[in-house]
Structure 1
C-alpha cells in the first residue's frame, strides 16, 4: 500500500494510491483506513513530505558492513528540516561543501519503546526515501552535528510511504545529479539493519507515529552545488527530486 501527503486546493491531504487514483483518507496511521470519497488523478499530484515528524533520527557510522565494529549511535535532526518532493535544499556558501545522502528511511507507525529484534518491524508503518543532507566541513568542530545536519531543507522525505516493501534490506539505490547517475549502491551495505537500528534507538527514547529513522548512507553521499537537481531513487520506493538553492 502506498501512502502520501499531497497539496490540494483545500490544503494538505492524506492519501492512499488505489484504483490508479490518490484516494483521500482521514488518518494514515489508523488500523482500518477511512475514505472520504474524494480522490485525485495520479498525474500532476503535488507531493508534500509524506509525514510531519515530531522526531527525526539518523544513524551514524552505519554505511558499510565493517562499521558493525563501531558502537551503534544515532543523532537528532530538527523536525524543521523535513521537506518534501520538489522542495529546495539550501546551501549557505560560507559553510563549505554540501553533500546529499540517499538513505532508506523507516516511518514509525505506532508508539515504540524498548523494542526487540522480534517485534521491531511491527512498529514500522512503511518505508520512504530520506536525504540526510550534510555539511561535512562543519563536522570536525561540531560533535553534536547541529551545524552539520540542520540547515534549511536538510531532510527531504518522499515521495511516498510504501507499507509493503519486503526487499528493504536488499534494495538498489541510485543518486543522480542533473540527470547523470553518479552513485549506485544497495541497502545491503548497511552495518545494522532496520530492526537493529530501532532496538538501539528505543532502548533510550520513545518513538511515535510519524517519526522517522534514516538508516545511514551506504556510500551514497555526493557533493552538490546551487543550481543542481538531485534525484534519489530506491527501487520500489520511487524517486525523490530536490533542487539545490543558494542561501
Structure 2
C-alpha cells in the first residue's frame, strides 16, 4: 500500500491511500494535482548514514566503515515532492539519492530480528549537501542542516511493496547520475535500526536515510532532480540560488 500526506482543498491535512494519480481519504477521492502534497512524515529528527555503499566510499577516497557512520539532520531540512530547494550562497552543492526508512512507533534497543516491526514504510530522499562548508566543520551544520536540505516523498510505501533488491536512481534534468540497488548496502535496514536505537529513542515519523550510491555531483541553479526507488515512486524537486 502507498500512503500520501496532503492538504485537501479545504485546507485540512490528511493521510490517504495513493493509487494511479489519486489519493483517497474517507469517502473522498482527489486527483493529486488538486491537493498539496506534503512530506510523508514529520520527523523529530533524521538520522543519516554515511558511506553505506562501497562504490561511494571509493569515489570519496574513503575506507568502508566497520560500523555505520551516523549524523543528524534537523526537521527544518524536510522538503516535499515538488518543492524548490534554495541553495545556500555560492557554495558547491551536491545531490545524494537515498532510500529512506520511516519509523512507525516509539522504539529503543531494537534487535535486528525485530527491526521491521518498528518500520512504518519507506520513501525517497535527497540528502542535499553543501560540500564547501561541510569540509570545514566537524558537525556539518552548514553542510547538511540548511533549510530544505532533505526532500522526502512522494509517498510512504509499506515494506511489502519494496523488493529487497529495489533499484534506486537519481536524474538531473533527465540525465541519470546515480544508479544502484539497495542490496548493495554495506549495512542493512535491520542493522541500521538496531544500531541507531542502541543510542537513541526513535519516535513515530522519525526517518533514517541509508546512504547514497556513487555518482554524486554538483547541482546548479534551475536544475530539476528526480529520485526514483523501485516500489515507491519518484520524488521530484528543483533547486535555485537567490
Question: Are the equivalent residues in 1 in contact too, given 2:169–2:176 (CA < 8 A)?
Answer: yes
Matching residue within 220, 229, 233 for 1:234: 229
**CA positional deviation for 1:56:** 1.0
TM-score for both structures, normalised by structure 1 = 0.88
In structure 1, C-alpha distance between the alignment counterparts of 2:198 and 2:163, rounded to whole Å: 23
Aligned residue in 2 for 1:71: 67
Matching residue within 81, 85, 88 for 2:81: 85
Question: Are the equivalent residues in 1 in contact too, given 2:161–2:232 (CA < 8 A)?
Answer: no
In structure 1, C-alpha distance between the alignment counterparts of 2:218 and 2:158, rounded to whole Å: 31
Question: Are the equivalent residues in 2 in contact too, given 1:57–1:212 (CA < 8 A)?
Answer: yes
Aligned residue in 2 for 1:22: 23
In structure 1, C-alpha distance between the alignment counterparts of 2:122 and 2:215, rounded to whole Å: 17
**CA positional deviation for 1:13:** 1.6
Aligned residue in 2 for 1:39: 29
Question: Are the equivalent residues in 1 in contact too, given 2:162–2:232 (CA < 8 A)?
Answer: no
3-state SS in 2 of match to 1:201 = helix
1:101-138, CA deviations, whole angstroms, 9 ceiling, x for partnerless residues? 11000000111100111101110000000111101222
Question: Are the equivalent residues in 1 in contact too, given 2:97–2:125 (CA < 8 A)?
Answer: yes
**CA positional deviation for 1:237:** 1.1
In structure 2, C-alpha distance between the alignment counterparts of 1:199 and 1:85, rounded to whole Å: 29
More displaced 10-residue stretch of structure 1: 196-205 or 175-184? 175-184
Matching residue within 38, 45, 49 for 1:59: 49
Cα gap change, 1:168/1:195 in structure 2, threshold over 3 Å: closer, same or farther?
farther
Q: CA RMSD in A?
A: 2.0
In structure 1, C-alpha distance between the alignment counterparts of 2:159 and 2:76, rounded to whole Å: 28
In structure 1, C-alpha distance between the alignment counterparts of 2:165 and 2:215, rounded to whole Å: 15
Size of the aligned set, in residue pairs, is 235
3-state SS in 2 of match to 1:148 = helix
In structure 2, C-alpha distance between the alignment counterparts of 1:220 and 1:77, rounded to whole Å: 22
Cα gap change, 1:64/1:169 in structure 2, threshold over 3 Å: closer, same or farther?
farther
Matching residue within 92, 95, 98 for 1:97: 92
In structure 1, C-alpha distance between the alignment counterparts of 2:2 and 2:97, rounded to whole Å: 20
Runs of 5+ unmatched residues, structure 2: 58-62
**CA positional deviation for 1:156:** 0.2
Cα gap change, 1:150/1:69 in structure 2, threshold over 3 Å: closer, same or farther?
closer
3-state SS in 2 of match to 1:223 = coil
**CA positional deviation for 1:211:** 0.7
**CA positional deviation for 1:202:** 0.3
Aligned residue in 1 for 2:209: 214
Cα gap change, 1:219/1:160 in structure 2, threshold over 3 Å: closer, same or farther?
same
More displaced 10-residue stretch of structure 1: 226-235 or 183-192? 183-192
Runs of 5+ unmatched residues, structure 1: 25-35
3-state SS in 2 of match to 1:17 = strand
1:17-68, CA deviations, whole angstroms, 9 ceiling, x for partnerless residues? 36974222xxxxxxxxxxx323213555432111111111111222227865
TM-score for both structures, normalised by structure 2 = 0.89
**CA positional deviation for 1:221:** 2.1
More displaced 10-residue stretch of structure 1: 167-176 or 195-204? 167-176
Aligned residue in 2 for 1:31: none
